[in-house]
């Protein structure tokens, strides 16, 4: 918030402002430049500007963009473009795009094909946003998918772009990137660029359905009537959605010449949506051509059809009239509605084409298509059905005949053929119904019915009557509508039992003759089979079958045969099971023992199947087949089992007694594990006598010592274990008195050993006494490596408090520190530390001096008390002596050049006689007590 | 000539600051508040010459503010509503409640200045 007034000031600054305002502006500019030197402030300001961008518009927004660049904040975004992190790059692109930094265009467009989709999408938006030609570049170069959302965003950018003149997007219809093509079509549609009709017509053939759909929509919107032939051409190969789109387009763009196509589609298409759309399209071109049929009460209309003249096939007619009661036909005729007949007749005569199409549609909805089959099936399969069903059946047949009548004039041959086929079918049904079997036709009908909706029109295959439909589908869009009468595909009047049930139920429920079952849609592939051709399965004696054809059937045999078969099969099964148990060690008793030849024959087969292995790796014990040789009936214990182990085990290893290569299992295992291949250096020792004697002879005989020798050896053992160099004299003494050679050797050995110990000990002592020349190490040096300046300054204070002379060296190094603060502080600390250390040293020395004086006084007193107990002296006299000694120290250095050890002198207690000896060289204490005494005596005598 | 007082009710501090600056520069005494309750309290004590309010505000929305001014305070002072683009229903409701004008976000401060001046001139 601190920055917002500044931003406002900048945004609303005007060039013609007064002097005060200008001055204020300049001040602000200086302030803000200082502020943005800090990275954090720069980020904040950038965020503020980006946030404000969303809330402001117009001139203020433009000023905001300018301010962003004036303050150099765009440089941060440019820097982000160089980052290795994709998210940083994307953010940089986003900032530059949002703040409309046009010069960044050339830097950003290189990211248009970035593999990271986030970066790529940002770059796409940026390219289109920053420059008008950005969309051209993007469409030219992009290799990636353009998502729907991205297309919308790009479109939004283009829409909001001021003074944008869109390029001719038809140039990108040829792009190899299908997404570019799709986007181009949408842009063409959005910008109403209707100069791309030819290209759009070609794109109808595009493999991509989305492009097809978009193109069809575009064609529809631009009213490209030239595209209709192409639409018709591609129609058969399209999926349902596309077919619906195409039909919609044809409905909108087409004229009456296209109705034929639409009718064909309506007639042949199985899909409800396509069919409905086709009818809808027909009505769009020619309104009210197709009338509603669903849910209408057709009671009064249906009988009209029965009055229409029709030439029934005689056979069929007679059959029907015989089977169906006449009274029901009359009943049906009674319900005729003359008005309905008139209406239909008028309509049919008025417009031929419309009549045909509407008739088709009516036919599709009337019961005439499936009811005949129902009749037949009812008649055949259940002749004793209720009368009502027969009535319905009769009615259906009559309707069937009536429906065929209008087209009979054109297709009388076809009708005749169909009726003949129907008759044949009827006969066949009668035949097949006797045996209760289902013929091929039934099955085919059923199958066709199931698959009917899935099969595309061009794939339909028909025989006989339905073969006419092939022409229909093949001639889509080219043939006139005259072949619409081919809707009699329903004529194959075959039905299976299950269908019968369905239709029975349906007919029972639907007593009003509702023609809802559109059996006409079922494309039937069937074959006419005469009854005589069907082989009679009952004629057993005519059986001449190849049994191999019935392998799939289970073999059924009677009980006796069964037991026989089982016996034989048991042996086979047993052998198979044994084969399956190959992994087990096979122990045989000779019955099934294969001969050696058999084994040899079997082995190569196994070898062929099994890998050739030379080691035991990866094998279990169960993998090895062990053959035991059966030899007479001798007990096993009596036999020496000798195994033969083959080098190449494969799946089985036979152990043979005759083997001489391997002596035992261990050696064999070693061999198999290649342990035997390890070369071992050895020396062969020929000791023939050992081979024949027992091992006890190899033990050396004990050496027995006499008493002296035992004592000496024991002593020497003790000395060796416990003694050191101090025992050398003793050992030398023993050596001199010893006669036994081996004892002498032992003593000499000990002396040598101890002599070496002396040297080693001396060396060790020297090493111990030698001072360790370790470098001075300051603990502060380490700490200084990982702390900031402030902490260093604090630590330097601590150096003064707890440091000693070791820190001096460290402080010396700090005097060259680059930080002036540290240098200065180190200098101060060093001075303080040096003073402290020196003071400490002085104090120490002073204390030592005091101690020395006290000690001297004590020694002096002791000496005086011992040597001259009667003599007394004053403090002054004592001081006088001491000062004299100190003076003499400078004159006679020799006195103090004597090596001595303080501890030894002080600790020693000398017998009195030693002290009484005339002193030539007196052993003195470091403070010179003895000397002092002599001087004292001398000075005393001198004074006297 | 006395400066006209303007109450700016906008919860977006940044935008409010910008508009505040611009309106002040345009010659208005601007009182800004981002809290609907504060606005209500202020209005109970003193009525400005014109109100510029955002519709979406915490505690007390722009709609409630219009309703309060028109129905409780029985004031006919001009009220200009700021709303996000595409919030058509709110705008219609605001007009029905008695708002005088409407400006959509993103706001052009210059445009707002003109609209404010126009509303004041009407009265």
Tens of pLDDT, residue by residue over A270-293, are: 889 998 999 999 998 988 787 777
Q: Looking at CA atoms only, how far is residue B72 from chain A in angstroms? A: 32
Residue A81 pLDDT > 90: yes
Q: Specify the pLDDT at position A809.
A: 80
Taking CA atoms, what residue in A is nearest to B85?
Answer: A55
Taking CA atoms, what residue in A is nearest to B18?
Answer: A8
Are residues B107 and A57, on separate chains, in Cβ contact within 8 Å?
yes
Q: Specify the pLDDT at position A816.
A: 80
Taking CA atoms, what residue in A is nearest to B108?
Answer: A57
Q: Band the pLDDT of A721: cuts 50, 70, 90.
A: confident
For the stretch A731-750, pLDDT in tens is 888 888 888 888 888 888 88
Q: Band the pLDDT of A635: cuts 50, 70, 90.
A: very low
Q: Specify the pLDDT at position A117.
A: 93
Are residues B106 and A55, on separate chains, in Cβ contact within 8 Å?
yes
Contacts of A3 in chain B (CB under 8 A): none
Ordered strands of the B28-33 beta sheet: B28-33, B4-9, B50-54, B79-84, B101-105
Which residues 207-266 of A are in CB contact (within 8 Å) with B? none
Maximum average pLDDT range among A353-367, A464-478, A813-827, B25-39? B25-39
Are residues A4 and B18, on separate chains, in Cβ contact within 8 Å?
yes
Q: Minimum mean pLDDT among A653-662, A758-767, A769-778: which range? A: A653-662
Give yes or no for A8 touching B (CB within 8 A): yes
The CA-atom distances, in angstroms, between A841 and each of A175, A772, A773, A805, A828 are 94, 21, 21, 11, 20
The CA-atom distances, in angstroms, between B40 and each of A733, B53, B80, B99 are 123, 12, 16, 16
Residue A521 pLDDT > 70: no
CA gap A816, A838 in Å, rounded: 24
Q: Specify the pLDDT at position A613.
A: 42
Q: Specify the pLDDT at position A821.
A: 83
Contacts of B18 in chain A (CB under 8 A): 4, 7-8, 11, 52, 55-56, 60
Average pLDDT over residues A304-323: 47
Residue A152 pLDDT > 70: yes
Average pLDDT over residues A710-716: 88
CA gap A150, A156 in Å, rounded: 10
Q: Specify the pLDDT at position B19.
A: 92
- Residue found under tokens 């899935």: A454
For the stretch A382-435, pLDDT in tens is 444 444 444 444 454 444 444 444 444 444 444 444 545 555 555 444 444 434
The closest CB to that of A52, out of B18, B25, B108, belongs to B18
Q: Band the pLDDT of A157: cuts 50, 70, 90.
A: very high
Which residues 55-114 of A are in CB contact (within 8 Å) with B? 55-61
CA gap A880, A874 in Å, rounded: 10
Contacts of B105 in chain A (CB under 8 A): 54-55
A782 or A583, which is more confident: A782
Residue B10 pLDDT > 70: yes
The closest CB to that of B108, out of A9, A51, A57, belongs to A57
A46 or A905, which is more confident: A46
Task: Count Cβ neighbours within 10 Å for each residue of A724-736 and write b for 16 or more, e otherwise.
Answer: ebebbeebeebbe
Taking CA atoms, what residue in B is nearest to A17?
Answer: B25
Residue B50 pLDDT > 60: yes
Q: Which 3-state string (H, E, C) describes A323-339?
A: HCCHHHHHHHHHCCCHH
Q: Looking at CA atoms only, how far is residue B106 from chain A in angstroms? A: 4
Q: Determine what percent of chain A is predicted with pLDDT higher than 70.
A: 49
* Domain limits, chain A: 1-72, 90-163, 291-533, 559-677, 710-766, 779-843, 873-943
The CA-atom distances, in angstroms, between A339 and each of A301, A331, A344, A345, B32 are 8, 18, 9, 10, 83
CA gap A219, A225 in Å, rounded: 8
Give yes or no for B117 touching A (CB within 8 A): no
Q: Looking at CA atoms only, how far is residue B22 from chain A in angstroms? A: 7
* Domain limits, chain B: 10-25+34-122
CA gap A30, A36 in Å, rounded: 10
Are residues A55 and B25, on separate chains, in Cβ contact within 8 Å?
no
Torsion (CA) A912, A918, A923, A929 in degrees, nearest 10: 80
Average pLDDT over residues A121-145: 95
Q: Determine what percent of chain A is predicted with pLDDT higher than 90.
A: 20
Taking CA atoms, what residue in A is nearest to B107?
Answer: A56
Q: Band the pLDDT of A690: cuts 50, 70, 90.
A: very low
Give yes or no for A52 touching B (CB within 8 A): yes
Taking CA atoms, what residue in A is nearest to B22?
Answer: A12
A546 or A211, which is more confident: A211
Which residues 49-68 of B are in CB contact (within 8 Å) with A? none
Q: Minimum mean pLDDT among A361-375, A698-712, A794-808, B54-68: which range? A: A361-375
Superfamily for the B10-25+34-122 domain: Response regulator (3.40.50.2300)
How are beta strands B4-9 and B79-84 bridged, if at all? unpaired
Are residues B14 and A8, on separate chains, in Cβ contact within 8 Å?
no
Q: Specify the pLDDT at position A887.
A: 57
Partnered with residue B4 across adjacent β-strands are: B28
Taking CA atoms, what residue in B is nearest to A48?
Answer: B14
Among A7, A25, A57, the strongest candidate for a mutation testing the B interface, having the largest count of B CBs within 10 A, is A57
* Distance from the Cα of residue A805 to its chain's centroid: 63
Residue A833 pLDDT > 90: no
Residue A137 pLDDT > 90: yes
The closest CB to that of A12, out of B21, B106, B111, belongs to B21
Residue A612 pLDDT > 80: no
Q: Band the pLDDT of A777: cuts 50, 70, 90.
A: low
A660 or A942, which is more confident: A942
Mean pLDDT of all residues in chain A? 67
Q: Specify the pLDDT at position A934.
A: 62
Closest-CA residue to A778 (of A801, A812, A808): A808
Contacts of A5 in chain B (CB under 8 A): 17, 21
Which residues 9-28 of B are in CB contact (within 8 Å) with A? 12-15, 17-18, 20-22, 25
Q: Determine what percent of chain B is predicted with pLDDT higher than 70.
A: 97
Taking CA atoms, what residue in B is nearest to A54?
Answer: B106
For the stretch A889-914, pLDDT in tens is 444 444 444 444 444 444 444 444 44
Taking the CB of residue A676, how many other CB atoms lie within 10 A of it? Answer: 13
Give yes or no for A54 touching B (CB within 8 A): yes
Are residues B108 and A60, on separate chains, in Cβ contact within 8 Å?
yes
Please report the DSSP string for chain B in residue order.
-PPEEEEEE-S-HHHHHHHHHHHHHTTEEEEEES-HHHHHHHHHH---SEEEEESS-SSS-HHHHHHIIIIIS-----EEEEEETT-HHHHHHHHHHT--EEEEESB-HHHHHHHHHHHHHH-
Length of chain B equals 123
Residue A4 pLDDT > 50: yes
Q: What 3-state class would DSSP assign to A804?
A: coil
Q: Specify the pLDDT at position A768.
A: 60
Residue A477 pLDDT > 60: no
Average pLDDT over residues A802-815: 81
Residue A322 pLDDT > 70: no
């Amino acid at each position: 918030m601190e920055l917002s007034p500044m931003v406002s000031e900048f945004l609303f600054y005007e060039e013609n402002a007064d002097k005060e305002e200008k001055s204020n502006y300049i001040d602000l500019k200086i302030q803000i430049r200082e502020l943005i030197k800090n990275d954090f402030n720069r980020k904040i300001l950038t965020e503020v500007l980006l946030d404000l961008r969303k809330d402001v518009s117009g001139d203020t927004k433009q000023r905001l963009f300018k301010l962003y660049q004036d303050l150099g904040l765009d440089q941060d975004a440019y820097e982000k473009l160089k980052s290795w992190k994709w998210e940083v790059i994307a953010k940089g692109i986003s900032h530059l795009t949002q703040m409309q930094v046009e010069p960044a265009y050339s830097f950003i467009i290189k990211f248009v094909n970035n593999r990271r989709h986030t970066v790529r999408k940002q770059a796409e938006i940026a390219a289109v946003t920053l420059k008008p030609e950005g969309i051209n570049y993007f469409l030219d170069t992009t290799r990636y998918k353009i998502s729907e959302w991205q297309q919308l965003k790009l479109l939004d950018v283009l829409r909001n772009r001021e003074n944008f003149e869109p390029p001719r997007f038809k140039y990108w219809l040829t792009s190899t990137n299908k997404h570019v093509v799709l986007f181009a079509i949408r842009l063409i549609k959005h910008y109403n660029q209707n100069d791309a009709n030819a290209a759009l017509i070609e794109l109808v053939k595009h493999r991509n359905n989305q492009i097809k759909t978009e193109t069809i929509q575009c064609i529809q919107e631009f009213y490209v009537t030239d595209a209709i032939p192409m639409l018709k051409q591609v129609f058969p190969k399209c999926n349902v959605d596309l077919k619906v789109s195409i039909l919609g387009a044809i409905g909108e763009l087409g004229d009456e010449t296209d109705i034929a196509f639409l009718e064909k589609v309506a007639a042949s298409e199985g899909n409800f949506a396509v069919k409905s759309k086709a009818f809808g399209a027909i009505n769009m071109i020619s309104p009210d051509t197709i009338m509603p049929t669903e849910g209408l009460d057709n009671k009064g209309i249906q009988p009209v059809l029965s009055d229409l003249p029709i030439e029934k096939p005689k056979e069929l007619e007679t059959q029907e009239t015989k089977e169906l009661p006449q009274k029901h036909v009359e009943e049906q005729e009674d319900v005729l509605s003359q008005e309905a007949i008139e209406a239909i007749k008028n309509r049919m005569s008025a417009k031929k084409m419309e009549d045909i199409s509407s008739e088709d549609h009516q036919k599709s909805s009337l019961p005439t298509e499936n009811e005949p089959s129902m009749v037949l099936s009812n008649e055949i399969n259940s002749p004793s059905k209720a009368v009502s069903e027969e009535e319905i059946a009769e009615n259906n047949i009559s309707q069937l005949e009536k429906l065929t009548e209008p087209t009979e004039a054109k297709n009388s041959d076809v009708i005749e053929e169909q009726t003949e086929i129907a008759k044949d079918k009827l006969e066949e049904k009668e035949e097949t119904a006797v045996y209760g079997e289902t013929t091929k036709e039934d099955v085919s009908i059923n199958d066709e019915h199931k698959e009917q909706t899935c099969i595309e029109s061009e794939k339909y295959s028909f025989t006989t009557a339905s073969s006419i439909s092939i022409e229909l589908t093949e001639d889509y869009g080219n043939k006139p509508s005259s072949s619409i009468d081919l809707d009699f595909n329903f004529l194959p009047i075959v039905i299976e039992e299950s269908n019968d049930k369905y239709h029975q139920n349906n007919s029972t429920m639907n007593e009003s003759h509702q023609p809802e079952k559109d059996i006409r849609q079922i494309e039937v592939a069937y074959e006419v089979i005469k009854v005589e051709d069907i082989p009679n399965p009952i004629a057993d004696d005519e059986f001449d079958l190849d049994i191999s054809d019935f392998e799939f059937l289970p073999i059924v045999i009677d009980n006796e045969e069964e037991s026989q078969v089982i016996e034989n099969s048991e042996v086979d099964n047993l052998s198979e099971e044994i084969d399956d148990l190959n992994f087990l060690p096979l122990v045989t008793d000779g019955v099934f023992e294969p001969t050696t030849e058999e084994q040899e024959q079997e082995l190569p087969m196994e070898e062929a199947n099994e890998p050739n292995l030379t080691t035991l790796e990866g094998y279990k014990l169960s993998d090895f087949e062990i053959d035991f040789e059966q030899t007479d009936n001798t007990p096993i214990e009596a036999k020496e089992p000798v195994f033969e182990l083959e080098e190449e085990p494969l799946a089985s290893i036979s152990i043979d007694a005759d083997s001489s290569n391997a002596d035992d299992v261990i050696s064999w295992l070693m061999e198999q594990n290649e342990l035997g291949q390890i070369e071992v250096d050895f020396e062969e020792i020929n000791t023939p006598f050992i081979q024949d004697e027992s091992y006890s002879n190899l033990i050396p005989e004990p050496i027995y010592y006499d008493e002296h020798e035992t004592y000496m050896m024991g002593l020497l053992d003790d000395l060796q274990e416990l003694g050191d160099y101090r025992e050398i004299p003793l050992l030398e003494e023993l050596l001199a008195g010893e006669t036994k050679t081996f004892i002498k050797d032992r003593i000499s050995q000990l002396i040598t050993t101890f002599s070496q110990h002396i040297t080693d000990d001396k060396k060790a002592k020297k090493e111990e006494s030698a001072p360790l020349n370790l470098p001075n190490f300051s603990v502060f040096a380490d700490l200084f490596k990982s702390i900031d300046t402030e902490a260093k300054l604090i630590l330097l204070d601590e150096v003064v408090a707890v440091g000693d002379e070791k820190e001096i060296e460290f402080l010396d190094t700090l005097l060259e520190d680059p930080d002036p603060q540290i240098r200065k502080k180190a200098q101060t600390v060093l001075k303080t530390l040096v003073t402290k250390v020196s003071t400490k040293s002085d104090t120490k020395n002073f204390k030592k001096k005091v101690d020395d004086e006290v000690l001297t006084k004590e020694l002096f007193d002791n000496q005086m008390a011992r040597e001259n107990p009667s003599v007394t002296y004053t403090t002054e006299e004592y001081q006088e002596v001491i000062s004299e000694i100190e003076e003499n120290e400078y004159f006679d250095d020799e006195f103090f050049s004597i090596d001595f050890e303080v501890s030894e002198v002080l600790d020693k207690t000398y017998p009195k006689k030693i002290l009484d000896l005339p002193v030539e060289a007196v052993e003195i204490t470091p403070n010179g007590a003895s000397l002092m005494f002599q001087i004292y005596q001398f000075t005393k005598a001198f004074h006297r | 000539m006395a400066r006209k007082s303007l109450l700016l009710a906008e919860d977006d501090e940044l935008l409010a600051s910008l508009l505040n600056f611009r309106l002040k520069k345009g010659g208005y005494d601007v009182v800004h508040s981002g809290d609907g309750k504060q606005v209500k309290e202020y209005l109970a004590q003193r009525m400005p010459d014109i109100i510029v309010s955002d519709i979406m505000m915490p505690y007390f929305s722009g709609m409630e503010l219009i309703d309060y001014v028109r129905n409780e305070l029985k004031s006919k002072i001009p009220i200009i509503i700021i709303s996000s683009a595409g919030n058509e229903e709110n705008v219609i409701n605001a007009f029905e409640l008695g708002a005088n004008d409407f400006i959509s976000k993103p706001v052009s401060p210059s445009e707002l200045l003109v609209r404010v001046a126009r509303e004041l001139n009407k009265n």
